[in-house]
Amino acid sequence: IHGVWPDKEGTLLQNCKPLPTYIHFADKMLNDLDKNWIQLKYPERFARKEQPLWLYQYLKHGSCCQKVYDQNTYFSLALRLKDRFDLLRTLQLHRIVPGSSYTFKEIFDAVKTVSQTDPDVKCTKGAQELPEIGI
């Protein structure tokens, strides 16, 4: 998971006012987020304690839907969406696996089978990796 980004009529919303208060997670939600929304840029102990990625995402994007989703609901939604649109499993089912090359269309069509809408597949010409899939 990179993030859950609310939009309004195709316009990405971010840094909405007032900024919400972030409450550090503990217990089951902390473990679920740590397993499914990995903070790879930070040492594990620091990431679990300070939660910099989740804090950043919530203040930047969660702030724009706080009237509808409180912090727990926002992150629960992200976890449910990850399970619903399990992109790694979907790609594997379409025989798209790490270490091989695929066309944009192959990846696009595979993701569309679960998203039911056109995904936003970000490719970098000449790169050996797929940096992002937006649904």
Task: Please give the pLDDT value at position 62.
Answer: 94
Let me know whether 65 and 112 are in one domain.
no
pTM of the model: 0.82
Please, which residues bridge with residue 121 across strands?
A: 133
Let me know whether 61 and 92 are in one domain.
no
Task: Please give the pLDDT value at position 20.
Answer: 94
Q: What is the pLDDT of residues 82-117, one digit of tens each?
A: 998 889 899 999 999 988 889 999 999 999 999 889
Let me know whether 40 and 96 are in one domain.
no
- Taken in order 41, 45, 48, 51, is the CA torsion positive or negative? negative
Alpha-carbon gap, residue 78 to 65, rounded angstroms: 13
pLDDT band at 135 (very low <50, low <70, confident <90, very high): confident
Let me know whether 80 and 24 are in one domain.
yes
| Number of structural domains found in the chain | 2
Let me know whether 75 and 108 are in one domain.
no
Let me know whether 51 and 10 are in one domain.
yes
Let me know whether 126 and 67 are in one domain.
no
Alpha-carbon gap, residue 41 to 52, rounded angstroms: 10
Q: Indicate if the pLDDT at residue 127 is higher than 80.
A: no
Task: Please give the pLDDT value at position 44.
Answer: 93
Let me know whether 119 and 53 are in one domain.
no
Let me know whether 129 and 108 are in one domain.
yes
Let me know whether 99 and 47 are in one domain.
no
- List residues with catalytic annotation: 2, 57, 61
Structure tokens at 73: 């609901």
Domain boundary among 67, 84, 101: 84
Q: What is the pLDDT of residues 14-33, one digit of tens each?
A: 999 999 999 999 999 999 99
Let me know whether 101 and 113 are in one domain.
yes
Let me know whether 66 and 94 are in one domain.
no
Q: Indicate if the pLDDT at residue 70 is higher than 90.
A: yes
Residue numbers of the domain that contains 111: 87-134
